[in-house]
Each structure stands twice: as structure tokens, then as C-alpha cells.
Structure 1
């Protein structure tokens, strides 16, 4: 079950996993918080989720593109 959850999380941008690691929570609790907040606020955290996913993908692309500060 854990492998399936990890696979789905990595395929869905890894936002909950990244937030959980940075804030010190488990990714499943962050994921549940997003789900509950989406139900209570009629889906507005989905916009936040996609904005965070976009930001994470931009950061990953920039890391792949430039390895050191001195690369121009």
C-alpha cells in the first residue's frame, strides 16, 4: 500500500510530500488536510495545490539547468 501511495504522490507533482518534509508532518496528514479543506471550502485549496505544483516544477527545472552559481 505504501508503494502505491508513493507512486501516486510522485506522479501528482509531489506537493504533499514536499510540504510534509519541510513542515515536519507526514505526507498523508498533509494530503488529508488538503482533502478536508477542499470539501469545506468548495475546492479552493485545489488552486493552491496547482500553484505549488507549478512552483516545484519550476524549481526542479532550474536545478537541472544550472548546477553551480558560476554557470551562466
Structure 2
């Protein structure tokens, strides 16, 4: 049951942890654990950062798709 929940969130997690892990050359699990632990210490501020990063990454991928269609 727990593995199904983990798989569900990994498939639908906006890709923020994966993107940051690739940029920082770290494992994805370490980045996720950082967000979890820091959200307990900083009273939810990292959750706000995560949501904003998800929005920015989503807009960025949308803009890349639109740009490629304009210049082709």
C-alpha cells in the first residue's frame, strides 16, 4: 500500500525534485528529503518554494513548446 502511494506521488510530482537534482548533480531522494526536513524546520516555507518552482517549470516547458512552433 505504501509503495503505491509513493509511486503515485513520484509520477505526479511536477518534476521539481528531479530538475534540481540534475542541476545540482545529486540524487533525487536527497533533494526530496531536504524539502521534507526543511519544511518541518522552516514552518512550510520550502513548500511554498516547491509550488512556485513547479509553476515556473511548467510555464517554462510551455514556452519552449510554443517557441519551437513559432520558429519552425
TM-score above 0.5, yes or no: yes
How many matched pairs?
68
Given that 1:38 and 1:44 are in contact with CA atoms closer than 8 Å, whether structure 2 keeps it comes out as: yes
Q: Name the structure with the higher helix share.
A: 2
**TM-score of the superposed pair, with normalisation by structure 1:** 0.81
User: Mind listing any 5+ residue stretches in structure 2 that lack a counterpart?
Assistant: none
Tell whether the 8 Å contact from 1:9 to 1:16 is kept in structure 2 after alignment.
no
What's 1:33 paired with?
34
1:1-72 pair list within 5 angstroms: 4=7, 8-67=9-68, 71=71
Q: Which has the higher contact order (CA 8 A, sep 6+)?
A: 2
Q: 1:12, 1:21 → 2: CA distance?
A: 15
List, as ranges, runs of 4+ consecutive aligned residues in structure 1 with deviation greater than 6 Å. Answer: none
> What are the ranges of 5 or more consecutive residues in structure 1 without an aligned counterpart?
none
Structure-2 separation of matches of 1:54 and 1:10? 17
